[in-house]
Amino acid sequence: MTGWLHSCRRTSVPTLARHLIGVAVAAVALLGLTYVLDPFHDYQLATAAAYLCAAAGLTVLIGQNGQLSLGHGALMAVGAYTLAMVQNQFGDHGVIAQWTVVVSLAAGVVTATLAGTVIGLAAARLRGPYLAGLTLVVAIALPAVTTVFSGVFHGDQGMSVFLPPVPDQLGVDFPMERWQAWLAVAAALLTLLALANLVRGRFGRSMRAIRDNEVAASVAGIPVARVQVVAFVVSAACAGLGGGMFAVLAQSVSPDAFTLTLSLNLLLAVVVGGSGSLAGAVWGSLLLVLLRYWADQLTGGLALSAGLRTRLAGNLPLAVFGLLLIVVMMAAPGGVQGLLSRAGRWVGGRLIRRPSHRAEVPAPDAEPPAPVVSHS
């Protein structure tokens, strides 16, 4: 019965090696980059990496499996609050060590997985707007938990997160931000590695088969409901990790960091990057951070009244994100990655004069197309 899960490991051994090399190269390059960047930009890199954990999971769910979730911001909150509470327990008991962060991140992933299982089971039979609606309600309702159980979660104020200091071995003036960037980048790369293997394997094919034609998939013997739930749970785990990283970066948690807007930001990262594509999730997550940064630069550069500046600060990026979401959806539903691979194929077709019918074959590295991409 579990054959379809096992064989994905069997078929993907060579790809696994390729992915491992890719991750190792990226890790070395980013490690170097953190030394080049100043602490502020290290922190931005860390933020993008934290977004990436969640966005990568979401892009697999939306693009490869065709399930649109607006609840992943709430699932990030689950991961973040779990990390905060476990970390604070360690702190209260005087356990100060780096491994505590790994343990509490893992705890965050576990609780987000559980929450994702509950939602995924409830959503397993839902499609399209119903699923989007249910998860939207989750996104709006879940922050209410913090006020209902304010004894545990401290209501709107939230709570601060106890973190062990930067390891002594790294030297006294090693900036906290760089350490945070290391943590976040490690988490993001591990997430990408795991997801890339999942997507390449048989499970990925099952997800895409269901996305393309559910009836045909079930006729072909794919356990549709189970694949749908597992896909949701996997992406929930990624959201939990991303949420935990958020808490590590901010060193605090509060409900207003995990509103519906966060879910919509993740959706933007997925769509702008090119839904279904892990590389696209990277572009999208970077863009989330960069756009905000550019908006700050812009409003900071203009001579504005203080009131106007605060109004613009949070809202200008929001409006730009929304506009981007609409424009990309109408003009380039394949997102950045879709444009890049199209450009790549065009250039490739120019350089190597292939017979025209071969140009139709997608490049070996191109991600499978996503449903939100194609016009029917």
For another protein, the closer of residues 27 and 320 by Cβ is 320
**Cα pseudo-dihedral 216, 222, 225, 229, rounded to 10:** -120
Using only the alpha carbons of the chain, give its radius of gyration.
21
For another protein, the closer of residues 8 and 74 by Cβ is 74
Q: CA 290, CA 279: separation in Å to the nearest integer?
A: 17
Half-sphere exposure of 198 (CA within 13 A, CB side): 25
Let me know the angle formed at the C-alpha of 184 by 329 and 92, rounded to the nearest 5 degrees. Answer: 125
Picking from 271, 268, 280, 285, the residue whose alpha carbon sits closest to that of residue 319 is 268
The footprint of another protein (CB under 8 A) covers 62, 66, 68, 70, 122, 125-130, 132-134, 136-138, 140-145, 147-148, 259-261, 264, 267-268, 271, 307, 310-312, 314-326, 329-330, 333, 371-372, 374-376
For another protein, the closer of residues 132 and 198 by Cβ is 132
Work out how close the CB of 25 gets to another protein at its nearest, in angstroms, rounded to a whole number: 33
Q: CA 272, CA 374: separation in Å to the nearest integer?
A: 15
For another protein, the closer of residues 330 and 352 by Cβ is 330
Work out how close the CB of 329 gets to another protein at its nearest, in angstroms, rounded to a whole number: 5
Query: Which are the contacts of 368, defined by CB distance < 8 A and separation ≥ 6?
Result: 64, 199, 204, 208, 276
Two tokens, residue 214 = 């559910």
Q: Which parts of the chain are beta strand (E)?
A: 159-160, 252-253
Two tokens, residue 323 = 């506009």
Work out how close the CB of 140 gets to another protein at its nearest, in angstroms, rounded to a whole number: 5
Work out how close the CB of 166 gets to another protein at its nearest, in angstroms, rounded to a whole number: 35
- Phi first, then psi, for residue 43 (nearest 5°) are -65, -40
Picking from 231, 171, 159, the residue whose alpha carbon sits closest to that of residue 195 is 231
Helix (H, G, I), strand (E, B) or coil at 160: strand
For another protein, the closer of residues 169 and 376 by Cβ is 376
Work out how close the CB of 34 gets to another protein at its nearest, in angstroms, rounded to a whole number: 31
For another protein, the closer of residues 32 and 128 by Cβ is 128
Work out how close the CB of 306 gets to another protein at its nearest, in angstroms, rounded to a whole number: 12
For another protein, the closer of residues 97 and 144 by Cβ is 144
Work out how close the CB of 150 gets to another protein at its nearest, in angstroms, rounded to a whole number: 8
**Cα pseudo-dihedral 139, 143, 144, 149, rounded to 10:** 140
Work out how close the CB of 369 gets to another protein at its nearest, in angstroms, rounded to a whole number: 11
Let me know the angle formed at the C-alpha of 287 by 371 and 254, rounded to the nearest 5 degrees. Answer: 100
For another protein, the closer of residues 142 and 279 by Cβ is 142
The structure tokens 């935990």 sit at: 244
Work out how close the CB of 374 gets to another protein at its nearest, in angstroms, rounded to a whole number: 7
For another protein, the closer of residues 158 and 317 by Cβ is 317
Q: CA 275, CA 368: separation in Å to the nearest integer?
A: 10
